A = this chain, B = another copy of it.
Amino acid sequence: MSRTTACRTEGVEEREVCVMLDVLGRVSGKWSLGVLSETTRGPVRFAALERALPGISRRILTLTLRDLEANGLLTRTVYPTVPPKVEYTATEQARELYAQLTGLTAWAARHPAAPARPDHARPDAGRHPA
Residues of A within 8 A of B (CB-CB), count = 50
A102 within 8 A of B: yes
A130 within 8 A of B: no
Interface residues, chain A, with chain B CB atoms under 8 Å away: 8-12, 14, 16-17, 19-24, 26, 28, 33-34, 37-38, 51-55, 69-72, 93, 96-97, 100-108, 110-111, 114-119, 123
State the Cβ distance, A43 to closest chain B Cβ, in Å: 16
A24 touches B104 (CB 8 A): yes
Count of this chain's copies in the oligomeric assembly: 2
A118 touches B72 (CB 8 A): yes
Contact of A34 among B14, B22, B24 (CB under 8 A): B14
